[in-house]
Each structure stands twice: as structure tokens, then as C-alpha cells.
A and B are shown apart, each in its own frame.
Chain A
Amino acid sequence: NAGVTQTPKFQVLKTGQSMTLQCAQDMNHEYMSWYRQDPGMGLRLIHYSVGAGITDQGEVPNGYNVSRSTTEDFPLRLELAAPSQTSVYFCASSSLSGRAYNEQFFGPGTRLTVL
């Protein structure tokens, strides 16, 4: 199993450009999410999904769009990139097993710089 994969690993954008951060998992997990990591603020939840066709907002959703057309993929779209979106982005997945606890699996991260 590859686990959670993210592409690209690094990206530099100019203000106003758009791009999609890719996230894929091969563990058949229902739950997927995106976090951004900023210095001193830890990781904050952007969007999450509990299954194909279902997405919802997290703590900091503004400026980001997501879609979930398959169980495996959960791309994060920046339509008009802004310098405030310079951050490290982590994708995570986990099962919705109904058990008391479900382990989160994190991707390796994407470092995005918006100039």
C-alpha cells in the first residue's frame, strides 16, 4: 500500500493563479481531510469529506474548494491564489468504521508558496 500520497511536493504560484493539490489514498478510507500548517498555529482543518460526493467545511475553508468524486481522491483547489495561502498542506485519511477510534494517516505534505 502506498498509503496517502500528495502531489506536488513543492509549488510556487503567483498571486491570482489557480492550481489543484492532489491527494490520493489506497486504503479504501471513507474519511479524507485537508489541513494547512502555519508557524505557531499548528495544523488547521480546511475541508473534509465523509465519502464520495460529500464534503464539508472545516475551520479555515475560505479560498479553497474541494470535491470528492471517488473514494480514493480528494483534490484541493485554489482558484485565486493569495500570499496568505502560503503554507504547508497535509492531506489525511481514516476509516469511518463505527469503532470508538479511527487512526489518521497523513500524507507527506505539499509546500506551497504564493508570491
Chain B
Amino acid sequence: AQKVTQAQTEISVVEKEDVTLDCVYETRDTTYYLFWYKQPPSGELVFLIRRNSFDEQNEISGRYSWNFQKSTSSFNFTITASQVVDSAVYFCALSDQRNAGNMLTFGGGTRLMVKP
């Protein structure tokens, strides 16, 4: 069975601070996919990133960066110089090779509040 754990339920930071959202996953598959989604106050789900299990390179996209470590089954997400617009709920998710992205297992989400 697959499982995704986001231990931080809520994080509050002041604008311009860096913040890291933790994600730990469990799967028996050797090939799988990891995702991060953002859910702003408007409620829709916004896709941020997908990572394949065989690609452990870290990725940076503007102020966002992701640290994938297979050895610790973690896929952490860092926002550098946070902004008020980053306030949202962030979900980490996992899909195994068999489902090829069609079926996702989500973590409980981390609510990030960025104060001005």
C-alpha cells in the first residue's frame, strides 16, 4: 500500500522568509511518480511539479525548488523569499508505475500562511 505523509499541517512565515514543506512517502514499487499541487484560497488544484523515481536530480523553478531523496523517501519543497501570494494549501502526491499517474495517493496537505 502506498502512503504519503505531510507532517506539517500548518506553517506560518513572514514575507521574504524561506520555507520548506516536508513530504515523506511509502511505496513498494521501484518506479513511481511524485507530485506537488498547490490549492490557493480559490479552491482549484494547481499542478506544480512531477518527479520520476529514477531521476533524483533536484529541480529549481524560480523561487521554487524540490529536493528528492530516495534514501529517505522524501520529496521536500522549498519556497525561497516567500510572498503573500504563496499562501495556500500544498499537497504532495504519489502514483505508482502500474497506474502511470492515473491514480494518485495524496498527503494530508500543509497550509502555508505568508504574512506581510
Cβ–Cβ < 8 Å partners of B102 in chain A: 31, 33, 48, 94, 96, 102, 104
A53→B101 CA distance, assembly (Å): 22
Q: Is B13 an interface residue (CB 8 A)?
A: no
Cβ–Cβ < 8 Å partners of A100 in chain B: 97, 100
Cβ–Cβ < 8 Å partners of A108 in chain B: 43-44
A35→B32 CA distance, assembly (Å): 20
Given contacts A42-B91, A109-B43, contact A102 B109 (CB under 8 A): no
A100→B95 CA distance, assembly (Å): 11
In contact, B104 and A43 (Cβ under 8 angstroms)? yes
As a 0/1 sequence over residues 24 to 60 of chain B, the CB contacts with chain A under 8 angstroms (1 = contact) are: 0000000001000000000111010010100000000
A21 nearest CB across to chain B (Å): 15
In contact, A101 and B104 (Cβ under 8 angstroms)? no
Q: When A and B form their complex, what is the total count of cross-chain residue pairs whose Cβ atoms lie within 8 Å?
A: 57
B52 nearest CB across to chain A (Å): 8
Given contacts A40-B9, A101-B50, A111-B43, contact A45 B103 (CB under 8 A): yes
* CB-based nearest A residue for B107: A42
Interface residues in A, total, Cβ within 8 A: 25
Q: Is A44 an interface residue (CB 8 A)?
A: yes
Size band of the interface chain B makes with A: 20 to 34
Q: Is B77 an interface residue (CB 8 A)?
A: no
In contact, B4 and A42 (Cβ under 8 angstroms)? yes
Cβ–Cβ < 8 Å partners of A103 in chain B: 47, 50, 101
Q: Is A2 an interface residue (CB 8 A)?
A: no
Chain B 35-91 interface residues, beta-carbon cutoff 8 Å to A: 43-45, 47, 50, 52, 91
B100 nearest CB across to chain A (Å): 5
Interface centre among B33, B93, B97, B103 (most CB of A within 10 A): B103
10 examples of A-B residue contacts, CB within 8 angstroms: A41-B108, A42-B4, A42-B6, A43-B93, A44-B106, A45-B104, A94-B101, A101-B33, A101-B50, A101-B101
**8 closest A-B pairs by CB:** A42-B106, A43-B106, A106-B45, A101-B101, A102-B101, A42-B108, A31-B102, A40-B108
